[in-house]
Amino acid sequence: MKTISRYTIVLILIAFAALSCKKSLDSSLNVVPQNELTDASVWATSETADIFLNNIYGSLFDGNNCWDIMDNWTDISMDGLAWPTSKTSTVMYHTYNAVNSFEMRTGYTDQTTLPFEWAHQYSYIRECNIFITGVNNNAANFPADWKAKRLAEARFLRAFFYHNLWIAYGGVPILTEALNLTSQGDSIFHPRNTSDETYQFIVNELAAIVKDLPLPSATDYGRITKGTALTLKGYVELYNKDYINAAADNKAVMDLGVYSLYPNYQDLFLPAGITNNEGIFFRQYLPGALGGRESLRGPCFANNGTEVCWGGVNPSQQLVDNYAMANGKPITDPTSGYNPQDPYKNRENRFYQSIVQDGAIFGTDTLYTRIGINSPNELDVNERNDASNTGYMLRKGISPTNIGSPNWSNATSSQNYYYFRYAEVLLNYAEAKIESGAIDQSVYDAIDQVRARSGLPTVEASYGTGLSQSTMRNVVRREREIELAFENKRWWDLIRWKTAETIINKPVLAIKITIDPTSGKLVYTTVNAYNGARAFDPSKNYLFPIWQTIIDQNSKITQNPGY
């Protein structure tokens, strides 16, 4: 989610360049630096103020230019490259602390950032505070309806950045004005608020702005709306185990009547699905430019064996095993029809729409991970190159027509990067109702909508009737794992469920496919992926450490336990 239209990323950059000058630009340019813009130039009109707010939209996490996604920290995938920190040591073994680095490399400039990194989030929060103050102090310059809506957008963005900090660190300092060390001195340094205080600030802000936000419209496609605020509020409540309010707010999103599931799950994450009624909060990319998904995450070798991607996401055997059969039953059900020596036959649609497995067609190629046929994509258990360490490659969000040198060199992907979409709202609602002990037909209906989009039978047809709370909990958690795979959701689910040490502290599994020399049949054997061990310490790793440089700057900040 970025701006007013689908083409806004470049438009924002061009427009903002007219008002600001980066240090790297030639100093001879006669442009006022951003930090020296006067009230007269920024807050004079809604058009110039919009440029400032649009720049804050541009600070949202650039998920399409990140190859080492947070799902690689969990049980469902791993990075295929040898060097990323999630794989080589720091995150996989959870050896990060207050002084070492566990950043996620993103994009082509090797910039390091995380979607919750402390200093960046507070810089964005400061920009929100500047905008809110600037608009309020110059209210006479703006139409009343514009002022109400844009202030609500800025407050949402601020709440979203606080949510990023809260789920990562717990309580953080709540700042609602732009602080200035030069003029205010040490008074700018604040201690951490408690986790409960931070949570309450977020939900109170979101509750306050809902009335000032519009429903989605074609003219404002991509901006924050009423549904965006309700969705974040419902998610934060779910994260905090406030299940009754979480159910109510997710239901309120459903009752708006403006969101629906995009008919084709696979196309939703491709250029064909850029405009849809499922996206609630997302970052947009200029069609044909600025996104690098295909060269970062997809199959490493395609186009007749050419290396077209770094292979940053390798789905795990654990994830593959959790895709249902086409009849909706899990493969562990003896009546499902699953054959471990023909494991990819009759699986649910989301498997074929998300995963490239041995013998699958990708674009015009048939890709093989089996051993012994000289395939460049052969299972890479010895880290010989960037081929998959698990025997699986990513299809979800990877356009076969956009692979190769154009994307590798110029980042030509245009898919949306979703922070929230309607399918998650349905699952959030169902989970909140299940956990509050209020399982009724609406819970089944919500889950069944997600399943039906992918051609699966109903929950009751697949699992039986009269299901217990424990069984329904497993059902909705499995649906989240499958439906939201590779969308940077899995880590936070394991954290909020307090199941991380149970699920993460196991080797990542791969599939080794060999050819029986006598029969010529394929033999499927589950093995450990290269460097597939994980380590999660429940005494401390449910929160991240605050970097020591932050504490050195502000002695009132206390470190999280265990670091």
Straight-line distance from the first to the last Cα atom of the chain, in angstroms, rounded to the nearest whole number: 35
User: What's the confidence (pLDDT) of residue 15?
Assistant: 35
User: What's the confidence (pLDDT) of residue 286?
Assistant: 82
97 — pLDDT class (breaks 50, 70, 90): confident
- Render 460-508 in DSSP notation, one character per residue: HHHH-SS--HHHHHHHHHHHHHHHTTTSS-HHHHHHHHT-HHHHHSSPP
Alpha carbons 210 and 79: distance in angstroms, whole number: 39
Alpha carbons 245 and 250: distance in angstroms, whole number: 9
Alpha carbons 388 and 530: distance in angstroms, whole number: 9
Residue 300 in this model has a pLDDT that exceeds 80: yes
For residue 398, CA distances in Å to 61, 298, 413 come to 19, 6, 9
485 — pLDDT class (breaks 50, 70, 90): very high
User: What's the confidence (pLDDT) of residue 96?
Assistant: 85
User: What's the confidence (pLDDT) of residue 511?
Assistant: 98
Q: Which two tokens stand for residue 481?
A: 């794992």
- Per-residue model confidence as pLDDT tens digits over 488-504: 999 999 999 999 999 99
Domains and CATH numbers, the chain: 8-66+112-256 (1.25.40.390)
DSSP for residue 48: H
The more confident residue out of 450 and 187 is 450
User: What's the confidence (pLDDT) of residue 460?
Assistant: 97
Average pLDDT, integer, range 452-479: 97
What are 347's strand-pairing partners? 325
Total count of residues recorded for the chain: 563
- Per-residue model confidence as pLDDT tens digits over 175-226: 999 888 788 888 889 999 999 999 999 999 999 999 999 999 988 899 999 9
34 — pLDDT class (breaks 50, 70, 90): very low
User: What's the confidence (pLDDT) of residue 21?
Assistant: 28
- Chain-wide mean pLDDT for the chain? 88
Least confident among 4-13, 294-303, 370-379, 517-526: 4-13
User: What's the confidence (pLDDT) of residue 305?
Assistant: 87
Residue 353 in this model has a pLDDT that exceeds 90: yes
Alpha carbons 462 and 441: distance in angstroms, whole number: 16
The more confident residue out of 259 and 20 is 259
Four-CA torsion 484, 490, 494, 495, nearest 10 degrees: -120
Average pLDDT, integer, range 78-98: 75
